[in-house]
């Protein structure tokens, strides 16, 4: 039987080999899917993993995807996964930003120049080429995600709630849409191999 769970207890869309290697960069969001599907989870290992992924630099919380792996930087998907599993709290995000790098003072001219440089480039281009004036925007938590994160902790903001309501009406059918709004579980499952645990419930 193929194994899709890494040594930290996180699910992946690719097979795990070599004693629990990490086959993808999206273990937290996929594990959040598993949690919503009520699959059994190794909470002890997941908690240990999250503690390793939560680091501090001058009292600022810095989140990374996997223990001791700082590249690529964490993404919106992984932030949502951590929150859905009950690990990430709103105060772990620095002003609703999850940038792991130092953000310079706002400079509108440099910001515009760097966003123009980004046109047509892969999303990794900005951090690989240190377009640091884009970081405050590129690593900002989307407004509808803020509602979802607050909701996990019994908190409420009417503005974020309204944005999330509009977002949910767009009939998003991917995995994140299903996680946040119960939109189309089949679309989520189609992202995974036929023999994946998500498709064998």
Position 20 scores a pLDDT of 63
Confirm whether 115 is domain-assigned. Answer: yes
**What domain range is 133 assigned to?**
102-138
Residue 173 has pLDDT above 90, yes or no: no
Confirm whether 188 is domain-assigned. Answer: no
Residue 154 has pLDDT above 90, yes or no: yes
Q: Across the strands, what pairs with 69?
A: 66
Residue 123 has pLDDT above 80, yes or no: yes
Confirm whether 132 is domain-assigned. Answer: yes
Phi-psi region of 166 (alpha: psi -120 to 50; beta: other; left: phi over 0): alpha
Confirm whether 162 is domain-assigned. Answer: no
Position 17 scores a pLDDT of 85
Spatial distance between the Cα atoms of 27 and 24, rounded to a whole number of angstroms? 7
Domain count, the chain: 1
- What's the whole-model pTM score? 0.94
CA–CA distances in Å: residue 136 to residues 133, 180, 182: 7, 24, 30
Confirm whether 118 is domain-assigned. Answer: yes
């Amino acid at each position: 039987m193929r194994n899709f769970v890494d040594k930290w207890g996180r699910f992946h869309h690719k097979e795990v080999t070599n004693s629990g290697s990490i086959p993808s960069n999206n273990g937290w969001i996929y594990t959040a899917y598993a949690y919503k599907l009520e699959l059994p989870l190794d909470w002890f290992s997941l908690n240990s993993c999250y503690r390793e992924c939560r680091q501090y630099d001058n009292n600022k919380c810095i989140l990374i995807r996997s223990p001791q792996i700082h590249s690529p930087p964490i993404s919106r998907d992984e932030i949502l996964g951590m929150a859905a599993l009950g690990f990430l709290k709103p105060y772990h995000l620095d002003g609703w930003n999850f940038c792991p790098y130092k953000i310079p003072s706002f400079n509108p001219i440099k910001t515009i120049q760097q966003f123009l440089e980004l046109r047509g480039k892969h999303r990794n281009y900005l951090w690989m080429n240190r377009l640091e004036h884009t970081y405050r925007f590129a690593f900002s938590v989307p407004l509808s995600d803020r509602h979802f994160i607050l909701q996990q902790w019994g908190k409420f903001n009417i503005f974020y709630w309204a944005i999330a309501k509009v977002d949910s009406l767009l009939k998003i059918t991917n995995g994140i849409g299903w996680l946040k709004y119960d939109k189309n579980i089949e679309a989520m499952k189609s992202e995974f191999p036929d023999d994946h645990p998500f498709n064998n419930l």
